[in-house]
Structure formats: C-alpha cells, structure tokens
Chain A
Amino acid sequence: MSAILIFLAVIAGIVFWWLSQQRLMAKPWLEEGPTGGFPATAPSSLPAAKIGLGVFLAVVGSLFSLLISAYFMRLSIAQLTRTDTGLLPTPNLLWLNTGVLVLSSVALHWAQVAARRGEMDNVRAGLLLGGVSAFTFLAGQLMVWQQLSAAGYFLASNPANSFFYLITGVHGLHVAGGLVALGRTGAKAWRGIAAVRLRLSVELCAMYWHFLLLVWLILFSLLTGWAGDFVDVCRALLT
C-alpha cells in the first residue's frame, strides 16, 4: 500500500497548505462583521468547474494509486513464490502510443494558449489535433492488446497479464471519457462561440489531458519494469 500512502501524503500536504491559509487559529467568537476583513478566507477566484475538476483528478489519482499498490503487492508475492516474473513483454507499439498521447497533450496545451489569446482558428486546430491523436492512442492501445493476446498473453493466463489489461483498460476508459468532454468543447468551438467563453472548457480539457498523460507515463514505467529497476537501484545505493 506504499503507492496510495505516498499519494495521500501529497494530498494531505495540499490540504494542510490550503487549511493553513484559512486562519484556523482564528477565534470566531470574538470576531463580528461582514467579512472580518480577511479576503484570503473568501472563496477562491478560480471558477468552480476548475476546482471541481481538480477534486475529481484527486479521486482518479487515488484510484490509480490503489491499482498500483495492488500491483506492487501482487509483484512481491510473485517474487516470493517465484511463480512468474510479474512482467509482460513490452510491444514496441506502446512507445508509439506514448508519443501520440504526448502529442495530444501538447496540442491541447496549444489550444489553451490560443484560447487565451482569442485565436479561434488555432483553438479549433488544437482541439482537432488533440482529439484525433487521443483517438489514435486508444486505437493503438487496442492493437497492443491484440498483439499480446495473439502472442498468447491472455487476460486470465496469469496475474501479471490481468493487471496489465486492467490498468491499461481503466486508463483507456478515462481517456475515452475525456474525449466526450473534448467533443462537446469542439462542438462549441465550431458553433462559433467567442474564444473568451470557450476558454474555460479548453483549459479544463487540457488540465485533464496533462493529468492522464502523467498517469500514463507512471503506469508505462511500472508495467515495463523500469520503476522496479529504479527502486532496486535506489535500494542498492542506500544499503
């Protein structure tokens, strides 16, 4: 359960940092007045949707941390019993997919910058490129699944395979869910809504995409076994 505890420690850090700005030492029974004159404790000026997405990403992060924790526990059992290595071969296609997902994230970042500047053409191009490359990523992931099962690595043949399919599947579903939101943003963009009003939607999409890219990079390094090697190297250095 180390992964989830590290994740929760990060969340706890954010929460306590935020709480520390909220004057928890105040003595509210002594203070009277409309605002108490403490603007820092008013609601933040960020739009509610952005904070909502932030909270949602914490939930998603928790889910993936738990899956990673479960995977680690499973790996340690495999190492104890020496039943299997706990790893699958890494099809080269995964590298391409990773590249495509990076491209998708970059495109949406570009769209976000363009939306701030009010350049509608670039917004549309960025959204389109981001959407198409995310679709390509999903198709690529499906092809990876196909290659693996053609090579005899089926979902249920051993726990390492099960984790690979489960984790990539959950990640893919989150990308697919993001595509729905991206589609709605795109529809707004093509209907010709002013860039100012579109900006929030585009920013939310970009934020979600960056997060999913980060998650993917972590998952990718785990599933290929680098993270394990890295931990081993650190351990060797420490002892």
Chain B
Amino acid sequence: MTDVTVRADDAIPAAEVEDVELYHPKSWVTKYVYCQDAKVIAIQYSLTAMAIGLVALVLSWLMRLQLAFPGSFSFIAPTDYYQFITMHGMIMVIYLLTALFLGGFGNYLIPLMVGARDMVFPYVNMLSYWIYLLAVLVLVASFFAPGGPTGAGWTLYPPQAILSGTPGRDWGIILMLASLILFIIGFTMGGLNYVVTVLQARTRGMTLMRMPLTVWGIFTATVMALLAFPALFAACVMMLFDRLLGTSFFMPSVVELGSYLQYGGGSPILWQHLFWFFGHPEVYIVALPAFGIVSDLISTHARKNIFGYRMMVWAIVAIGALSFVVWAHHMYVSGMDPNFGFFFATTTLIIAVPTAIKVYNWVLTLWRGDIHLTVPMLFALGFIVTFVNGGLTGLFLGNVVVDVPLSATMFVVAHFHMVMGVAPLLVIFGGIYHWYPKITGRMLNDRLGKFHFWITFLGAYAIFFPMHYLGLLGVPRRYYELGEMAFIPPSAATLNIFITAAALTVGAAQLVFFFNLAWSLFRGKLAGSNPWHATTLEWQTPQTPPAHGNWGKELPIVYRWAYDYSVPGAAQDFVPQNQPAATGAAA
C-alpha cells in the first residue's frame, strides 16, 4: 500500500517532532494530576494498581483465615467468602497485573527504551489513566453497595452470576460489569498508544531487531490485549443486558422457587467461550511483558548478552499467536466434543515449545555469566524457577483426562497462582527494584530488598507447594469449608493452617516493600544516571529522573543492539546503545 500523495510536510515521524511541539505542562495540576507525560501517567497507573492490589491482598488473608480456621470468624459468612474469592481474583488479574505491566511499565519504558519523547497520542494516554481510575472506583464502590460486591467467582459464569442467591446479585454484578467495560475502554486508549509508539516513534537506528526484549514483550502483549479484550467487552455488555433488560443471551430457562423466570433459550456456554477467548490470551498478556523484563534483568545483571535474541523474539511472537487457539482448555469439564478436546489439548501442549525455548535461553544466558546477585537479579531467578514449576503443572492440566479429575480441586489453584500470580509478581518486583533508581534518582534499600525477596520467594513456595498436594488428595476449591469428607484426612486441616501462616507472613513482607519504596524516596542512596551499567536507552538520558521530553535537545541515535555486555576489547563491560562505533573497531 503506497500512498504517493503523502508529502513530507505533514507526515513527520513522531520521533522527529521538535521539542517545542511537545505538550508542555503549565501548572502543578497539569504536571502531576492531568498530566500527559507518559512517565507521570506510568506512576499514576502503578500507584493506583498497587493500592487496589493491597485490597486484594487483604481479601486473600481473609480467605486463608477462613480456610485454616473454618467457622472461627463471625465476620466471614459463606457469602462473604465468595465475594472475597471473586474480588481477589478479578482485582489481581485485571486491575493489578494487566494495569501494572501495560499501564505502568509500558508507559514508563516504551518511550524511553525506543528513544521517543513521549507517547504518540499523549492526550488519549492521559484519558486512558483517568478511565482506568474510574473503573477502579466503580469496582471499589461495589464493596459499599447494598448486598456487597458480586460473589459469582472471578469468571462470573452465568446463569448463577445474575440469579438471586448469588451474593451481590443486586448491585455487585452490575458494578463489576460496568467497571470491566470501563477498564477495557481505558485500556484500548492506552493500548493504541503503546502499539503506535513502538511502530512510529522509534528513534533513528532503532530497528525492531534492536529493541530490548522488554519492549517486544509489552508490544506483543498489547497487540494481543487489543484483540482479546473485545471478547470480554462483548460478554460484559451482553450479561449486563441479561441482568438489566431481561434478555437471554446467556440464560437458559430457569425455575426458581417453583416458577419459571422470564429467561429462556440462552446459552451459558456462550459466555464461557467469550470469557476464555479473552481469558486465555490474558495469561500471556501478563506473561509476555514479564518474559521481556526478565530477559533484560538477567542480561544486565549477568553482564552477558541475551542468548538467542532472535529466537527470543520469535518465541514471543509465536506465543502471542498460539495463545488465541487454546482457550477451550479452560472448558474441558463444561462438556465438549472429544475432537475439540483433542485439538485444544494439542495446541496447549504446543505452546509449551516456544515457552521452553525462552526458559532454556535464560538459563544459557546465565551460563558462565558474571552473575551479580542484586535484588532485581534475585527476583528474576526466582521467576524462572517459579515459572518452570507452574508451567509443568500446566502440562498436567492441559491434558483432558488429567484435567477432568483435577479441575475442581486445589491443584488448579496452586497451578495458576504459581504461573500467573507469583511468577509475574516476582518480575514486577524485580522490575521495580531495577528501574526505581531511574524513576526517582535513588536506590532502593538493598538489605530490605533482600529480606523482601527471601520472605516472598520462600513464602510463596510454602503457600503453593502444599496446595498441589491438597489438590491431589481431592480437596475441592471454592469451598467455604470442607466439613467432613471421608477422603480428606485430618492432616489436610493442619496443612491449611500452615499455608495460612505462610500467606500471612508473605503478605506482611509486602509492607516492608512499601516501606522501602517510601523511605528510599527520601533517604535512599543517590543512584546516578546508570547504576547497573546497563546498555538500553532509558539509562542514557541526560537527566535522572528523565525530564519532560526525555532527551534534551536531540534524540539519541542507536548504533547497536541492546545487549552489548562484556564485549571483548571494549573499554567497559557494557556499550550503551547510543554509543557510536569506535574508530578502527570492527564494524
């Protein structure tokens, strides 16, 4: 497609826009509140996500208390328990992980890493954050609505999600659906920015194959999210219609208290298809940015170029594409044609191949590297181990015959918390320890960081390893209390107490992290512009923290890929991307 009519005067690539053409904040409000600078928006996104994440953390504490000491707490009724489950899951997956990786890391890192002054549509970017905040507020409002938040489970399966008897049927479910719809609108605005910025605002010399893997991960995840979120959007709108206007998209004929409800002819399975068509890519929407970030952390802190860069890029793209054809492996127990089950089991196992390639490449990057066990590196290593663990149980659950007996047990809870909860969170922590010096100009306290890492890492294993065992025993998930089941030995209750003790400890350790964030802001060691001696562009900004417009008068020019560590014959053990080739050196 060649548009010969495009002239030079109105088709200036965004990267070449003069500094004077940038939006400039005039007052405190436009600088810190209604701000169009991606760096400030990133911090707004991150703080909001972490705040709502803390709520979800407290909810998990309450659930664990109930599971360890069933019936001992008068403030946890069965309905409360279901509301805690639902809100914990939804907040963690969507409002924390998705928002933090794409809205937080994406906003901060994309423009800096590709050498742009800002996102290409700063105003839309600002709007994205404010709609996200509104979505969070609507979600929080459901805690205070009559009847409380919805207790339909985080997958919101109809018909029970909107039938009376499910907690939060009156207001909770409406606010939840409205909040998701808002979130998706807000995300789409942000997502357009991330994609087009990578496409159009790369600085001179920054070819796609010179981009750091962090950008590749976030970019691919955003493309996937843009295509997958409409499924959740359509599903939410349809369920809202069912709940408010009496349509029957998902509602079959239901007899309630002896009389037929007005519903009839709808298909609950339709919801499951739409939900998981979004829900499975969502796993990789969270995982791919984590893959990218962890690659950069490992390369930087092992002072070695990433092993198999091309393969890493191809694997990211392959995982992104494959993740759209595996969704029904979440529906093995919903009843399906065995041929479909076979197809989805096959695709599910195939996706393990590019993922395994990535794991091998991380390990081979570490091989004979000059490994610095800094806090970000510890978190990155913790991620690799955890992701492998979670991935292996995924192979169990990807097979239909193994999945069917395990599907409703704690085994599944253990699996997805390892692979999608703990693993990405370790990367988020690692990323924050890594980039905090650039964002604030100060280092996070190392000792507190190591304390935080070891408690979180070992604690997470103390929580989720025994859970696999509980699952194999047949302990069901989603149950308020176990009661007396012949096949569950009394030791399961003891194990539950142990898990709860670990969960409370890990949760408390996160408070150390938040203390560290606040304390280091004022008292942390001054970082300088490039404390980790990293090669990527964000560490080469003229100011730290980067000023508005990122690069001063002239945009950086990129001369090399992002992983020139320990180059033989180089003066230092790293060569920044924007450093020109030395005269006489091999080209």
**Which chain A residues have a beta carbon within 8 Å of chain B's beta carbons?**
1, 4-5, 8, 11-12, 15, 19, 22-29, 31-36, 38, 41-49, 51-52, 55-56, 58-59, 62-63, 66-67, 69-70, 73-74, 77-78, 81, 83-84, 116, 155-156, 158-159, 162-163, 166, 170, 196-197, 199-200
**Which one, A38, A46, A48, A70, contacts B274 given CB within 8 A?**
A70
Nearest chain-A residue to B234 (Cβ)?
Answer: A66
A186 to B564, CA, bound (A): 52
**Which one, A19, A84, A155, A162, contacts B317 given CB within 8 A?**
A19
Are A45 and B11 in contact (CB-based, < 8 A)? yes
A196 to B6, CA, bound (A): 10
A42 to B309, CA, bound (A): 20
- Measured between C-beta atoms, what is the minimum distance from A40 to chain B in Å? 9
B386 contacts A by Cβ under 8 Å: no
Query: Which one of A27, A70, A84 has the highest number of Cβ atoms from chain B below 10 Å of its Cβ?
Result: A70
Chain B residues near A34: list those with CB within 8 A: 204-205, 557-559, 580
Tally inter-chain residue pairs, CB-CB below 8 A.
186
Nearest chain-A residue to B325 (Cβ)?
Answer: A5
Are A51 and B587 in contact (CB-based, < 8 A)? no
**Which one, B191, B230, B249, contacts A162 given CB within 8 A?**
B249
Are B11 and A47 in contact (CB-based, < 8 A)? yes
Other than the known A43-B200, A70-B238, A73-B267, what 16 A-B pairs have Cβ atoms closer than 8 Å?
A1-B277, A25-B310, A26-B209, A29-B563, A33-B587, A34-B204, A41-B209, A49-B121, A55-B196, A63-B230, A73-B269, A73-B270, A73-B273, A74-B266, A159-B247, A166-B247
Are A28 and B309 in contact (CB-based, < 8 A)? yes
- Measured between C-beta atoms, what is the minimum distance from A168 to chain B in Å? 13
Proximity bits, B252-294, A CB within 8 Å = 1, else 0: 0000000000100111011001100100000000000000000
**Which one, A22, A48, A59, A83, contacts B208 given CB within 8 A?**
A22
B44 contacts A by Cβ under 8 Å: no
Interface range for B: 35 or more
CB under 8 Å from chain A, chain B span 106-132: 120-121
Chain A residues near B191: list those with CB within 8 A: 59
A137 to B7, CA, bound (A): 35
B164 contacts A by Cβ under 8 Å: no
| A-B contacts, 12 listed (Cβ < 8 Å) | A8-B324, A23-B208, A24-B208, A24-B314, A29-B305, A34-B557, A42-B202, A43-B199, A59-B230, A69-B273, A74-B270, A197-B10
Chain A residues near B231: list those with CB within 8 A: 4, 62, 66
Are A156 and B246 in contact (CB-based, < 8 A)? yes
A47 to B231, CA, bound (A): 29
Are A38 and B207 in contact (CB-based, < 8 A)? yes
A16 to B269, CA, bound (A): 32
Chain B residues near A46: list those with CB within 8 A: 3, 6, 11, 200
Are A44 and B205 in contact (CB-based, < 8 A)? no
Chain A residues near B560: list those with CB within 8 A: 28, 31-32
Chain B residues near A83: list those with CB within 8 A: 265
Are A66 and B277 in contact (CB-based, < 8 A)? yes
Chain A residues near B226: list those with CB within 8 A: 55, 58-59, 62
A159 to B121, CA, bound (A): 40
With A48-B196, A55-B226 as known contacts, state yes or no: A27 contacts B310, CB within 8 Å.
Answer: yes
**Which chain B residues have a beta carbon within 8 Å of chain A's beta carbons?**
3, 5-7, 9-11, 13-15, 120-121, 188, 191-192, 195-196, 199-202, 204-205, 207-210, 223, 226-227, 229-231, 233-234, 237-238, 241, 245-249, 262, 265-267, 269-270, 273-274, 277, 305, 309-310, 313-314, 317, 321, 324-325, 557-561, 563-564, 580-581, 587
A63 to B15, CA, bound (A): 31
- Measured between C-beta atoms, what is the minimum distance from B498 to chain A in Å? 43
Are B207 and A24 in contact (CB-based, < 8 A)? no
- Measured between C-beta atoms, what is the minimum distance from A205 to chain B in Å? 16
- Measured between C-beta atoms, what is the minimum distance from A113 to chain B in Å? 10
A193 to B227, CA, bound (A): 36
Are A8 and B227 in contact (CB-based, < 8 A)? yes
- Measured between C-beta atoms, what is the minimum distance from B288 to chain A in Å? 15
Chain B residues near A155: list those with CB within 8 A: 241, 245-247
Are A11 and B227 in contact (CB-based, < 8 A)? yes
Chain A residues near B269: list those with CB within 8 A: 73
Chain A residues near B314: list those with CB within 8 A: 24
Are B313 and A24 in contact (CB-based, < 8 A)? yes
**Which one, B200, B233, B234, contacts A44 given CB within 8 A?**
B200
With A47-B10, A59-B188, A73-B270 as known contacts, state yes or no: A23 contacts B247, CB within 8 Å.
Answer: no
With A1-B273, A24-B313, A29-B309 as known contacts, state yes or no: A48 contacts B201, CB within 8 Å.
Answer: yes
Chain A residues near B207: list those with CB within 8 A: 22-23, 26, 28, 35-36, 38, 41-42
A162 to B244, CA, bound (A): 13
Nearest chain-B residue to A47 (Cβ)?
Answer: B11
A74 to B251, CA, bound (A): 12
Query: Which one of A29, A46, A156, A200 has the highest number of Cβ atoms from chain B below 10 Å of its Cβ?
Result: A29
**Which one, A15, A48, A66, contacts B223 given CB within 8 A?**
A15
A45 to B325, CA, bound (A): 34
**Which one, B195, B210, B270, B310, contacts A55 given CB within 8 A?**
B195
Nearest chain-B residue to A25 (Cβ)?
Answer: B310
With A24-B208, A58-B227 as known contacts, state yes or no: A77 contacts B267, CB within 8 Å.
Answer: yes
Nearest chain-A residue to B210 (Cβ)?
Answer: A28
A170 to B277, CA, bound (A): 20
Chain A residues near B313: list those with CB within 8 A: 24
Nearest chain-B residue to A60 (Cβ)?
Answer: B230
- Measured between C-beta atoms, what is the minimum distance from B235 to chain A in Å? 8
